[in-house]
């Protein structure tokens, strides 16, 4: 007997671990409703937008309590079968309420109930000539120059609203640029992915690239995960372009995920040069621009979608291939709300779609290397730099008994001299912004602390103290709180201080600093990089912003000022991250045909991790770390989850986690370890006390089962009302 559906089962934006049943609105033909359409429903005292999961013949809700939906918003589902499946999968894996996961999958306008349609916005983009043009030629036409610069920021096209937001005028300036052949209308998205013209590759692939690309070609239309390993400059991007072209030629769409900082105009330009139309999806776009990409991808009009983390939720009508560039990058992990890993979800998606996925990196995550060893992923290797560039050589500088000037050893300063004299550029890396990380009383040694965090304040310039954890800001105190002395000293170095010291040593080198502070203003990063490429700046000092995405072909020396930070970090991933950062920064050296030199300052030149990394390379270093993780039973050899709690009071988080532990314990048995609760490594942050409970299991399924059984109970605990708590499955950081 087939029962007639009478109820709507709806995913509601709510933190509750359940779905909700409704009666259909009056005059709705419920048999014609497809899962994935949006419905407006009364919820509590408000109306909210939910997504229909299914229609049901039965409900457990008492008839008197059932409410009626107000109306259905869509004729066709906004979330198709695949995306609903992905939402369910993610809700299950991350133990997150399905209603919130479904919300995370929708672009903002759809969450707000706006129509799932957009007129194709008329947009403009620079031509290849416009990208190559020297802005100096427009010195007398500042409006054109400003417009061209704004257009270059978005090689895939800017619509009128975006240009207005950038504060540039269009009108006559735009007509003039078009006349010069420097700007053009962005061609309308191809009606179907298959109808795209693809430009020929600018360089033929070398043998290693060809072999890698052929292996991936052979897997098109089946699920297979590839780890494409190759140092910076080995030509991974050319391999992506080649296999994407093959997929698009078959009428299939490609989704490319890149780290937040990797989505540079250079990269977009390369993709645009190859494919007529590239749809972008990242946080720098307006809600409507993102919606336009989302709809075009869903309807099969976008052959190639390039985006950051959240682009993993962009629906594809004809999926053909997924690429995750710099798969080790931490920005693929969402750190609040639904704490998903875009890389991991991308693999899950590829499996569901039965298509190949390519994870690329010079410094693969231990997770992916482990998956290769388990034969879940296929490793493809690009051992050499493409073209004529050579490997940089890495060397440790023992600075234990060397004279240091603001953290710069004489050895390093000599090398800078040598490279500048030889006509090279120099890149110095220090992952600490500001002037100095500590302001200390000379008299009693008291350090100026943030009042809201267990952390010291960082000195910026000479009259501003900033907390890098909560953003608190104040001026340096006149007197020490402990002893009353007025004598303070700045200890340690930040990028500002290094910049000042280098300017003193090399006044003619045009020292430039690149970090979050110096690039805060719109387009300022592009301007600084342009100055570097033109040779105006011969020394660059910066943070990890320098580590990816940008090429500095004339850089011949890379100096890493402090390699020791990562050796003794509290997080179990600290040394993995340190090595990745060092190798990524080192990869900036000698990209063209000049040999690069990489010098690493350390107080621990005999530390086995450092000597291994420098002597044997990343692969061997990673093998060492993997052995260590296996011996200590940490990921990727175990599944981990972290239950976090925070509150303004010191006791509440601990009390809640103790109660949570009591609830979890019976479901954990011997197979799932419960560690803690313990205070978070930085216990107080932004005025809130934080504690955590770690769950660790050799078998993921056991961990998942324990969480599934216990989590719904945690919300009901009375101790839960005093804290904010969250669950992080596969945490990227344990603090
Ligand atoms: P990766 O993505 O691994 O950093 P890219 O694909 O960006 O490497 O290539 C680095 C540089 O080498 C680019 O300038 C690219 O144009 C060039 N290149 C890549 N493949 C080849 C090749 N087969 N022959 C010559 N040059 C190449
Ligand atoms: Zn003092
Ligand atoms: Zn603070």
Among 491, 387, 511, CA closest to 442: 491
CA–centroid distance, 456 to ligand 2, in Å, is: 15
Sign of the dihedral defined by the CA atoms of residues 479, 483, 487, 492, in that order: negative
235 lines ligand 1 (CB under 6 A): yes
Give the CATH number of domain 7-111. 3.40.1440.60
Q: Where are the alpha helices (DSSP H) in 154-286?
A: 160-165, 171-180, 207-219, 236-249, 265-274
Question: Which pair of structure tokens corresponds to residue 514?
Answer: 């690149």
Residue with CA nearest ligand 1 atom 26: 387
Distance CA 45, CA 697 (A): 42
* Superfamily covering domain 207-382: P-loop containing nucleotide triphosphate hydrolases (3.40.50.300)
Which three-class secondary structure state does DSSP give residue 435? coil
SS3 for 334-392 is: CCCCCCCEHHHHHHHHHHHHCCEEEEEECCCCHHHHHHHHCCCEEEEEECCCCCCCCCC
DSSP 708: H
Give the CATH number of domain 639-729. 3.30.70.360
CA–centroid distance, 286 to ligand 2, in Å, is: 50
445 lines ligand 1 (CB under 6 A): no
CA–centroid distance, 431 to ligand 3, in Å, is: 19
By most ligand atoms within 8 Å of CB, the mutation choice from 199, 228, 231, 233 for ligand 1 is: 233
Q: What are phi and psi of 20, to 5 degrees?
A: -130, 140
Q: Which ligand is nearest to the Cα of residue 262, counting in written order?
A: 1
Which three-class secondary structure state does DSSP give residue 126? strand
201 lines ligand 1 (CB under 6 A): no
CA–centroid distance, 585 to ligand 1, in Å, is: 17
Q: Dmax over Cα atoms in the chain, in whole Å?
A: 87
Question: Which pair of structure tokens corresponds to residue 105?
Answer: 């999958």
361 lines ligand 1 (CB under 6 A): no
232 lines ligand 1 (CB under 6 A): yes
Could you tell me the end-to-end alpha-carbon distance of the chain, in angstroms, rounded to an integer? 54
Is residue 12 within 8 Å of residue 40, measured between CB atoms? no
Q: Where are the domains of the chain?
A: 7-111, 123-186, 207-382, 393-436+492-627, 639-729
Ion ligand 2: residue ranges with CB closer than 5 A: 441, 443-444, 446, 480, 482-483, 485
Which three-class secondary structure state does DSSP give residue 713? helix
Is residue 518 within 8 Å of residue 546, measured between CB atoms? no
Beta bridge partners of 405: 408
DSSP 168: -
DSSP 595-611: PPEEEEEES-TT-HHHH
CA dist list (Å): 344 to 23, 101, 307, 626: 37, 16, 16, 19
Atom of ligand 1 nearest to the CA of 239: 6
SS3 for 520-555 is: CCCCHHHHHHHHHHCCCCCEEEECHHHCCCCCCCCE
CA–centroid distance, 447 to ligand 2, in Å, is: 8
Which three-class secondary structure state does DSSP give residue 72? strand
Q: Is 182 exposed, middle or buried (0-12, 13-18, 19+ CB in 10 A)?
A: buried
pLDDT for the residue 1: 45
pLDDT for the residue 391: 65
Q: Which ligand is nearest to the Cα of residue 479, counting in written order?
A: 2
Q: Which ligand is nearest to the Cα of residue 358, counting in written order?
A: 1
Inter-axis angle of helices 81-93 and 700-716, to 10 degrees?
A: 80
Contacts of 658 (CB under 8 A, 6+ apart): 677, 719
CA–centroid distance, 475 to ligand 3, in Å, is: 14
Atom of ligand 1 nearest to the CA of 204: 23
Residue with CA nearest ligand 1 atom 11: 233
Sign of the dihedral defined by the CA atoms of residues 487, 492, 496, 498, in that order: positive
pLDDT for the residue 452: 94
CA–centroid distance, 470 to ligand 3, in Å, is: 4
CA–centroid distance, 246 to ligand 2, in Å, is: 67
Residues listed for the chain: 735
Is residue 321 within 8 Å of residue 247, measured between CB atoms? yes
pLDDT for the residue 191: 52
Query: Tokens 């001026």 sit at which residue?
Result: 475
By most ligand atoms within 8 Å of CB, the mutation choice from 324, 386, 550 for ligand 1 is: 386
Q: Which ligand is nearest to the Cα of residue 385, counting in written order?
A: 1
**Prior bond to 677 cis, omega within 30?**
yes
Among 513, 515, 492, CA closest to 433: 515
Distance CA 158, CA 160 (A): 7
502 lines ligand 1 (CB under 6 A): no
For the chain of 735 residues, list the mean pLDDT of each consecutive stretch of 10: 82 87 90 94 94 93 89 94 97 95 95 82 80 84 86 77 70 88 76 68 92 96 96 91 95 94 80 87 87 92 94 97 96 95 98 98 97 97 73 87 91 96 94 94 94 95 93 94 93 95 96 90 79 90 82 88 82 91 84 78 92 91 95 96 96 96 93 94 94 96 94 89 95 84
Question: Which pair of structure tokens corresponds to residue 352?
Answer: 């569901």
CA–centroid distance, 390 to ligand 1, in Å, is: 12
CA–centroid distance, 491 to ligand 2, in Å, is: 14
Q: Where are the alpha helices (DSSP H) in 28-157?
A: 81-93, 98-105, 108-111, 128-132, 142-153
614 alpha carbon, distance to own chain's centre: 27
Within 13 Å, how many C-alpha atoms sit on residue 656's CB side? 31
Is residue 216 within 8 Å of residue 358, measured between CB atoms? yes
Which three-class secondary structure state does DSSP give residue 131? helix
CA dist list (Å): 545 to 205, 343, 511: 29, 21, 16
DSSP 116: S
Distance CA 38, CA 102 (A): 11
166 alpha carbon, distance to own chain's centre: 24
Is residue 580 within 8 Å of residue 429, measured between CB atoms? no
In this structure, the dihedral spanned by the alpha carbons of residues 190, 191, 192 and 198, taken in order and rounded to 10 degrees, is: -20
Q: Which ligand is nearest to the Cα of residue 445, counting in written order?
A: 2
Atom of ligand 1 nearest to the CA of 325: 2
CA–centroid distance, 677 to ligand 3, in Å, is: 23
Question: Which pair of structure tokens corresponds to residue 545?
Answer: 């912003």
Is residue 22 within 8 Å of residue 67, measured between CB atoms? yes
691 alpha carbon, distance to own chain's centre: 25
How many other C-beta atoms are found inside a 10 Å radius of the C-beta of residue 365?
25
Beta bridge partners of 379: 227
DSSP 487-506: -EEEES--HHHHHHHHHHH-
Ion ligand 3: residue ranges with CB closer than 5 A: 450, 452-453, 467, 469-470, 472
Question: What's the alpha-carbon Rg for the chain, to the nearest Å?
Answer: 27
205 lines ligand 1 (CB under 6 A): yes
Is residue 59 within 8 Å of residue 15, measured between CB atoms? no
Q: Which ligand is nearest to the Cα of residue 469, counting in written order?
A: 3
Which tens digit of pLDDT belongs to each residue from 555-600?
999 999 988 877 777 789 999 999 999 999 888 876 656 778 999 9
pLDDT for the residue 387: 63
Is residue 38 within 8 Å of residue 74, measured between CB atoms? yes
How many other C-beta atoms are found inside a 10 Å radius of the C-beta of residue 278?
24
> How open is the CA angle 11-17-20, to the nearest 5 degrees?
40
By most ligand atoms within 8 Å of CB, the mutation choice from 238, 244, 554, 618 for ligand 1 is: 238
CA–centroid distance, 481 to ligand 2, in Å, is: 7
Which three-class secondary structure state does DSSP give residue 641? strand
Query: Tokens 């850089």 sit at which residue?
Result: 555
* Superfamily covering domain 393-436+492-627: P-loop containing nucleotide triphosphate hydrolases (3.40.50.300)
Among 464, 396, 407, CA closest to 432: 407
Question: Which pair of structure tokens corresponds to residue 36?
Answer: 């994935």
Is residue 274 within 8 Å of residue 201, measured between CB atoms? yes
| CATH topology identical between 7-111 and 207-382 | no
């Amino acid at each position: 007997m087939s029962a007639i559906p009478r109820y709507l089962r709806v995913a509601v934006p709510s933190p509750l671990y359940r779905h909700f049943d409704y009666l259909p609105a009056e005059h709705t033909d419920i048999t014609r409703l497809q899962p994935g359409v949006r419905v407006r429903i009364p919820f509590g005292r408000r109306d909210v937008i939910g997504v229909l999961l299914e229609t049901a013949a039965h409900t457990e809700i008492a008839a008197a309590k059932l409410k009626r939906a107000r109306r259905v918003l869509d004729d066709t589902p906004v979330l198709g079968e695949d995306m609903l499946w992905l939402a369910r999968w993610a809700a299950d894996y991350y133990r997150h309420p399905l209603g919130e996961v479904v919300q995370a999958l929708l672009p903002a306008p759809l969450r707000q109930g706006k129509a799932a349609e957009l007129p194709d916005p008329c947009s403009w983009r620079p031509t290849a000539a416009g990208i190559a043009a020297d802005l100096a030629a427009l010195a007398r036409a500042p409006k054109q120059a400003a417009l061209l610069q704004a257009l270059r920021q978005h090689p895939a096209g800017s619509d009128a609203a975006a240009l207005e937001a950038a504060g540039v005028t269009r009108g006559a300036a735009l007509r003039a640029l078009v006349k010069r052949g420097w700007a053009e209308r962005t061609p309308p998205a191809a009606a179907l992915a298959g109808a795209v013209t693809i430009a020929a590759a600018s360089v033929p692939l070398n043998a290693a690239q060809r072999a890698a690309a052929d292996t991936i070609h052979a897997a098109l239309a089946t699920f297979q995960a590839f780890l494409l390993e190759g140092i910076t400059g080995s030509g991974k991007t050319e391999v992506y372009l080649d296999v994407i072209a093959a997929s698009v030629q078959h009428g299939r769409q490609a989704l490319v995920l890149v780290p937040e900082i990797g989505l540079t105009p250079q990269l977009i330009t390369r993709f645009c040069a190859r494919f007529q139309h590239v749809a972008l999806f990242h946080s720098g776009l307006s809600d409507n621009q993102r919606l336009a990409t989302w709809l075009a991808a869903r309807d099969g009009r976008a052959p190639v979608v390039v985006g950051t983390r959240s682009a993993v939720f962009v629906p594809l009508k004809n999926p053909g291939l997924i690429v995750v560039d710099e798969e080790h990058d931490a920005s693929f992990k969402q750190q609040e709300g639904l704490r998903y890993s875009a890389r991991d979800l991308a693999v899950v998606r590829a499996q569901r779609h039965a298509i190949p996925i390519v994870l690329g990196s010079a410094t693969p995550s231990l997770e992916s290397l482990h998956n290769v060893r388990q034969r879940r992923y296929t490793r493809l290797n690009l051992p050499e730099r493409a073209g004529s560039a050579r490997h940089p050589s890495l060397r440790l500088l023992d600075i234990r008994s060397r004279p240091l000037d603001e953290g710069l050893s004489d050895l390093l300063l000599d090398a800078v001299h040598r490279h500048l004299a030889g006509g090279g550029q120099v890149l110095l890396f220090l992952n600490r912004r500001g002037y100095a990380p500590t302001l200390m009383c000379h008299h009693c040694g008291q350090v100026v602390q943030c009042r809201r965090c267990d952390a010291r304040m960082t000195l910026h310039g000479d009259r501003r103290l900033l907390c890098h954890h909560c953003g608190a800001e104040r001026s340096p105190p006149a007197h020490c709180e402990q002893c009353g002395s007025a004598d303070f000293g700045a200890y340690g170095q930040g990028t500002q201080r290094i910049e000042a010291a280098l300017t003193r040593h090399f006044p003619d080198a045009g020292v430039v600093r690149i970090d979050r502070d110096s690039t805060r203003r719109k387009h300022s990063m592009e301007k600084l990089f342009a100055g570097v490429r033109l040779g105006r700046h011969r020394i660059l000092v910066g943070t990890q912003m320098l580590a990816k995405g940008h090429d500095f072909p004339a850089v011949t020396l890379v100096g890493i000022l402090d390699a020791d930070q990562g050796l003794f970090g509290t997080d179990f991933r600290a040394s993995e991250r340190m090595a990745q950062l060092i190798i990524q920064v080192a990869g900036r050296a000698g990209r063209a045909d000049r040999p690069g030199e990489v010098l690493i300052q350390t107080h621990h030149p005999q530390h086995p991790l450092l000597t291994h990394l420098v002597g044997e390379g990343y692969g061997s270093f990673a093998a060492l770390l993997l052995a260590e993780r296996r011996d200590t039973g940490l990921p990727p050899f175990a599944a981990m989850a972290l239950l976090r709690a925070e509150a303004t009071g010191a006791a509440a988080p601990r009390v809640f986690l103790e109660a949570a532990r009591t609830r979890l314990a019976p479901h954990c048995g011997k197979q799932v370890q419960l560690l803690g609760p313990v205070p978070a490594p930085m216990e107080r942050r932004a005025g809130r006390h934080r504690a955590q409970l770690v769950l660790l299991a050799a078998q993921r399924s056991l961990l998942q089962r324990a969480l599934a059984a216990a989590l719904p109970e945690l919300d009901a605990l009375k101790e839960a009302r005093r804290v904010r708590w969250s669950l992080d499955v596969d945490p990227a950081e344990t603090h």
